[in-house]
Structure formats: C-alpha cells, structure tokens
Amino acid sequence: MDSDEEERIPYSLRKEWSDVTPLPQDDGPDPVVSIAYKDEFRETMDYFRAVYHSDERSARSLDLTSDAIELNPGNYTVWHFRRLVLEAVGADLHDEMDFVEHIAENNSKNYQIWHHRRWLAEKLGAEAMRRELKFTQKILALDAKNYHAWSHRQWVLQVLGGWEDELEYCQQLLEDDVYNNSAWNQRYFVITRSPLLGGLQALRESEVRYAADAIITNPENESPWRYLRGLYKGDNNSLVSNPEVSIVCVDVIKKNPIKKNPYCVFALSLLLDLLCYGFQPSDEFRRIVESLRNSDSGPSDYKLASTVCAILESVDPMRSNYWSWRKSNLPTLAC
C-alpha cells in the first residue's frame, strides 16, 4: 500500500476484496472510552479481523497484514497471523527480512519485530548469520544501547555462529565510546562464551591490563571497574593474588584526590572487597588509605577495612547506610 493517504484506495472499493465482509471491533454495548481511530486504520483492521476469523491464509491476507503492521507495528496478533500466512503461501523469507528492516527503521525497540526476526532467522538457519549480525550492527550504530539488538545479536552468535570478528567489533565500539557500557557487557559475553578464544582463564591476564588501562585513562568511568571485577567472578583468591588489581586502585587514589573526585569511590569499593577477601596490605598501602581520612570520617580503626568503610560513608552519602552496614558486617579476616 502506498503510504500517501491521497493515493490509497479503500478496501471497500477494491474488486479483489469484494467477497469479504469486514468485521468491526466489538467494544460492547456501552464502551467506557471509545477510541477515535482514523478511517484508514479502522477499515484495515476490520478487514484483518475478517480474514483472521475465517483463517484465510492467502497472498492477499499477507498484503493485508503488511498494511496493518505499517499502521501499528506493535500488534502481536497481526504478526502471529502473518507468520502463519508466510508458511502457508511459501513466501520468500529473504523478502520478509527486507520487510522487517523497513519496519524497524522507525520501530527498533518494538518487541514484536525482534520476535518475528528471530523466527525468520531460525527458519533460514546458518545462512542468516551474516545478515543478522549486519542488521544488529546497523541498529546499534543508531542506538548503541538498544537492548533488543544486543539480545538478538547474542542469540545469533550462540545459535548461528559468527564469533570470529566479535571481539574486534567490541574493541571498535569502545574506541568510539569507552563509556558504552553495552559494549563492555558484550566484550565480557564474548570472552566468556566464544568457543574460539579459550575462555576467561586464557584471556584474564590480557583483559585485566585492558581494563586497567581504561580505568587509568578515565577513572570516572564505572564500566571498566565493573568489567575488572567481573573478570574474577567466583574466583576471589585470584582477585586478591593479582597485584595489578590493587595497584590500579592505589594509582587512581594517589592521582585523583578524593575530595575533588568522588568517583574514587570505585577504587575504594574494590579495595574494600580485596581486604574482605584476605588481601594483606603493605605499610605504604595503609598510609595511603589513612591519608584519605578527614574529621567527618570518624576515628581511625584498627582494622583498615573499617577505615575504608568510614571514608566511603563520608564521601558517598547516597549510600552511607550501605557502607555502614558493610562496616558492621566485615569478616574477621579483613585487615
């Protein structure tokens, strides 16, 4: 159907639809709030209800669902029926991919579109892999944090493949915007799930350096701090034993006075975790932490972890109750 309303021919005037009696929407005898639909929408849906009720799976029904989706891309019933029709008429699913891309141009966060897209990819199998990766890349170029696109991309990688260039893609995204937390998440997904890279254990050393470099360059960026912590998920012993972790925390604190840069909370928070997991600090380390104290942080505590909690209570007032709770629940091994 031409999008220009002036050129649109009503279904009631189309010869090929003369045998169909439109089925109006039933709002009951006393609708509370009647919706003032446009004539084009009302008529299209009346004819859709008619073919849906009669279960007519034909080429004209497919065209009708195209019109209905153009008018309302979120109608899950129309999308469901469209899939039934596509299978019944043996439609070219590559053409259907084109249709979805067209609809997605202005509706990239529509759940129905992504569900339909996955259905198509499942039908086409491995041959759809490259196209799906390009499709999600196109969407992410417009909206780098589109959850639907990332979710679909991860599904494609796990089911259809395409891991070969994914780490490089993440690298490029982070070079473009190191604050892109979705790209950091995808990078973690790749190093932990890719069957080609050897797993987290094989990559941890290089990834720690990568995260540390990103932290030193932009210590206010929370994403690499989270990424660094995630590299040791479930392996606290390795976290404590790697000196690079404590070094990057201390470097950030030394170079960025906490009174002027509250984002040192990220460094202090990680240091607190290290202490709680059994990290044995040096005398220099203790002096650096003690130097952060001020009159608002309370008296010095014999436990360094308690001192860190007191500092965090002062410099992170939004979560002062949390840090107070952490202080009252420190493990006995915390220094």
The per-residue b/e assignment along 228-267, b for 16 or more CB within 10 angstroms, e otherwise, is bbbbbeeeeeebbebeebbebbbebbeebebeebebbbbb
Length of the chain, please? 335
Catalytic residue among 38, 109, 255, 259: 109
User: Among residues 92, 99, 93, 151, which one has the least CA distance to residue 122?
Assistant: 93
Residue with tokens 């299978």: 87
Question: Rounded to a whole number, what is the largest CA-CA distance in the chain?
Answer: 90
Residue with tokens 């608002």: 296
* Helices 129-142 + 93-104 axis angle, to 10: 10
Active site includes 109? yes
Q: How far apart are CA 62 and CA 313, in angstroms?
A: 62
User: Among residues 182, 185, 190, which one has the least CA distance to residue 166?
Assistant: 190
Angle at 224 between CA 223 and CA 227, to 5 degrees: 90
Could you report how far apart the first and last alpha carbons of the chain are, in Å?
A: 72
Q: Active-site residue numbers?
A: 109
